[in-house]
Structure 1
Amino acid sequence: MRNWSGIYEYRATAVEAPPTVEAVQDLVARSPRVRALGTRHSFNDLADTDGVLVTTTAIDPSFDLDTDRRVVTVGAGTRYAAVATYLTDRGWALHNMGSLPHISVGGAIATGTHGSGDLNGNLSTAVRGLQIVGPDGSLRWVRHGHPDFPGSVVALGLLGVTVRLELAVQPSYLVRQDVYRGLPWATLLADVPAITGAGYSVSVFTDWATDPIGQVWVKRRLESADEPVPDELAGAVRIEGASQILPSEDDNTTQQGVAGAWSAALPHFRIESTPSNGDEIQTEYFVDRADAVGALEAVRALAADIAPHLLITELRTIAADDLWTSMASGRDSLAIHFTFKNEPDAVVALTPRIEAALEPFAPRPHWGKVHTLAPEAIVARYPRFGDFRDLVHRTDPEGKLRGRHTQALLDAAAGA
């Protein structure tokens, strides 16, 4: 079995999809080695194992909305599209959504997958509780306020198989997406916060070589559907009609120029469609937002080499959080995302050059995307990774839940 894009082939001996929580408990208890698998949107071997992969996508979502606590409980294998539909129908919402609404809730949270917005925490920051099947098959809840909670959310599958999650919700709200074209690079670099703060969630799309920048997508949270929006953004002009990130995507983007439900406008792709290019390789790096200009200039110096192999780059921001292994842990971040053509040799050659350019800014790679940074370099960029390692060893002393990728990280932390 391969991942969603087809670029990685799993080496696990089996892939199991238990239909109930009890079946997950039984499988984990009797398996010598096991790892949790979401919707296979990781581009590296993070989720892999030489044992059994277990996915919870076959378990019923069993939605439970508690409006008094403002929490919805869902199955970890549920896709965000289903959660968004359920909540919208009942007048409720999440604070953020990823660009791809088809990823599983559990997989996105375990890897710190993010969404965007200067003031918005990543998807993991909505978590208020996790129900986890431990290595011995036991079932436990870890909730907000517990000492282990900050290390248990973005846990890379190392603490067990998460089967249910409690997520914070809020009353539903309107979002309007508008697309602007013609933003000069010099204008962006002169005042990055003015662009990324122009809406509730802002994405800048570029190929690095073209000036002005290709597109800026601004998603504004509105009080009313007829609230006016500006026709210009720092010299860029708002366009009418549909707009795609890539021409091959068959208009899989969200509505434009019309205020609608949060669930229809926060993702980049409609929840009823099959999104994105698929045949691609993704990399992504998070830097401190205070270093945004230097980081962007450093990568742009490689534009002539990057552009021929690139489908698109997306620049997004995410608010700092206190989760030990979140890519935004402790710092407001700029996420620099590359969707490359499926050209492995070119990506293998380019990735270390991009990482070297970003090195002065201590980049944190997305846990589930392609990179070549050494484990020692990665764990050194997380002040609480040693605490996370201790939590992992206390929870799973025999290492049943570890794979080659995660073991290398834990070994690096031990030697730090």
Structure 2
Amino acid sequence: MSDAIGETWAGTHRFHARDLVRARSVAEVQEAVRSRTGPVRALGTRHSFNDVADTAGTLVSVVDVPPEPRLSATGDVVAVGAGIRYGELAIWLEQHGRALHNMGSLPHISVAGAVATGTHGSGDRLRLLADAVRALEFVDAAGELQRVERDDPRFGGFVVGLGAYGIVTRVELAVEPSYRMRQRLHVGLDWDVLADRFDDVTAAGTSVSLFTHWGAPTVEHVLVKQRVDGSFDASVLDAVREAEAGERFDQVSWTPQDGSVGPWLERLPHFRLEETPSFGDEIQSEYFVPRAHAPAAIAAVRELAADIDPHLIITEIRTIAADDTWLGPASGRDTVAIHFTWMRHDDAVRALLPGIEAALHPFDVRPHWGKWNAFDDAGIAAAYPRLADARALYRDLDPEGVFSNAYLERLGVR
């Protein structure tokens, strides 16, 4: 059956699972767990780049379970099926005058999958997507439906949970009144200005992303997203030219970058829901360092530019506010994300990762759970101080390791 299950979104991992259950109800999820003959894992929209979602047993997809979104009586929480894509939820929320606090670059990813792997979006004062979660419903190892709420002291281990304790079927997310945004693209920020005024650059908008190659003479593009109800000092970019029409990122798949005002769901993500996300045929890696180390960490990676750039499509640098998740990328610290979108030079990329990680090691680096990296269990234990708490939680919830897999065991999560 594994050949029929196929690959991850970009084809960087072929699933080895024996079977795939496409559940159409929570009851079908429960039955799949109860009737298992081996391990089980949840499968979302397949937007991972490694084997985090794979299993030797059965994959259970909740993507086809009707999402049935419902707003709370006060309008500040939405309950929705876990398999819904963020872009689809955003459309429904906008129709009801509500909005999310943040979104990832791609609106194509499922809510539960993004939350479970620490997907983060961007913004000095914006936490990762999991921070919006107020409650989770999940099917446990006995096939029973369970619920956990934010006031549970263990909640930080549930949200970025890597599928290690069950199959999440429904999520409750904090929402707010709808808002409008603009997005502008700037060209050619001096590397020295970035190093000297990093905080000013990333404070120029609600969300600021730097796109570049490491050997480029300047930071090639600065993408600034601003809420129109916010106040920002973007004067650090006064000397940086705004991109002209022909210099903007692909206007078919990217959201508008011309400064025009539009609804939040058409400016917060980089890409349009109706188009192919990102480049498609690619590999992704991402590393996280404390914000205080950002200029030094960026300088360290620039030393490797001659090795990196021949295999790089683009790098994106952005910020994330600290949170209280146990295994999130910004757990306990304001964070800078250094993202690599690679060409499909598989062997060359694998060979590069240890050197990049060594360069970032002095800066307390963490890897993205769902993307290519070369970390081992010792490296993961050093990077995530609450790993032991998470491991104990998952052992208590699933003592037989029904939801474990080779990935979690290799990295010491199970």
TM-score range, shorter chain: over 0.9
Letter in structure 2 aligned against 1:134: D
The answer for the alignment partner of 1:359 in structure 2 is 361
Contact 2:205 2:232 in 1 (8 A): no
Give the TM-score normalised by the residue count of structure 2.
Answer: 0.95
The answer for the alignment partner of 1:396 in structure 2 is 398
- Paired residues, number: 407
Residues 71-114 of structure 1, C-alpha deviation per residue, up to 9 Å, x if partnerless? 00111100001010001111110000000000000000000011
Counterpart Cα distance in 2 of 1:104 and 1:243: 31
Residue 212 of structure 1 deviates from its aligned partner by 1.6
206-215 or 127-136: bigger deviation? 206-215
The answer for the alignment partner of 2:254 in structure 1 is 253
Counterpart Cα distance in 2 of 1:394 and 1:313: 39
Residue 159 of structure 1 deviates from its aligned partner by 1.2
Contact 2:318 2:338 in 1 (8 A): yes
Q: Structure 1: which 5+ runs fail to align?
A: none
Listed as ranges, the matches of 1:324-363 within 5 Å are 324-363=326-365
301-310 or 215-224: bigger deviation? 215-224
Residue 250 of structure 1 deviates from its aligned partner by 6.0
The answer for the alignment partner of 1:133 in structure 2 is 139
Of 18, 23, 39, the match for 1:18: 23
Listed as ranges, the matches of 1:268-279 within 5 Å are 268-279=270-281
Counterpart Cα distance in 1 of 2:72 and 2:244: 40
Q: 3-state DSSP class of the match of 1:410?
A: coil
Letter in structure 2 aligned against 1:252: S
Residue 336 of structure 1 deviates from its aligned partner by 0.2
**Identity percentage of aligned residues:** 49
Residue 235 of structure 1 deviates from its aligned partner by 2.1
Listed as ranges, the matches of 1:302-313 within 5 Å are 302-313=304-315
User: Quick check: 1:288 aligned with 2:283?
Assistant: no
Contact 2:203 2:234 in 1 (8 A): no
Residues 344-386 of structure 1, C-alpha deviation per residue, up to 9 Å, x if partnerless? 1110111111001001012110000000011211122222111
299-308 or 268-277: bigger deviation? 268-277
The answer for the alignment partner of 1:220 in structure 2 is 226
254-263 or 95-104: bigger deviation? 254-263
The answer for the alignment partner of 2:41 in structure 1 is 35
Q: Stretches of 4+ moved more than 6 A in 1?
A: 227-232
Listed as ranges, the matches of 1:185-264 within 5 Å are 185-223=191-229, 233=237, 235-241=239-245, 244-245=248-249, 251-256=252-257, 257-264=259-266
Contact 1:244 1:251 in 2 (8 A): no
The answer for the alignment partner of 1:119 in structure 2 is 125
Residues 237-272 of structure 1, C-alpha deviation per residue, up to 9 Å, x if partnerless? 222436554xxx563111121111100000001122
Residue 408 of structure 1 deviates from its aligned partner by 2.3
Q: 3-state DSSP class of the match of 2:245?
A: coil
Counterpart Cα distance in 1 of 2:152 and 2:232: 44
Call closer, same or farther: CA 1:238–1:148 in 2, change over 3 Å: same
Q: 3-state DSSP class of the match of 2:219?
A: coil
Call closer, same or farther: CA 1:189–1:395 in 2, change over 3 Å: same
Of 132, 149, 169, the match for 2:175: 169
Residue 195 of structure 1 deviates from its aligned partner by 0.7
Letter in structure 2 aligned against 1:239: A
Listed as ranges, the matches of 1:134-153 within 5 Å are 134-153=140-159
Contact 2:106 2:271 in 1 (8 A): yes
Letter in structure 1 aligned against 2:66: D
Q: 3-state DSSP class of the match of 2:260?
A: coil
Counterpart Cα distance in 1 of 2:119 and 2:355: 24
Of 156, 164, 176, the match for 1:158: 164
Query: How large is the RMSD of aligned CA atoms in angstroms?
Result: 1.7
Call closer, same or farther: CA 1:89–1:240 in 2, change over 3 Å: farther
284-293 or 253-262: bigger deviation? 253-262
Q: 3-state DSSP class of the match of 2:68?
A: coil
Letter in structure 2 aligned against 1:157: G
User: Quick check: 1:5 aligned with 2:5?
Assistant: no
Give the TM-score normalised by the residue count of structure 1.
Answer: 0.95
Letter in structure 2 aligned against 1:183: L
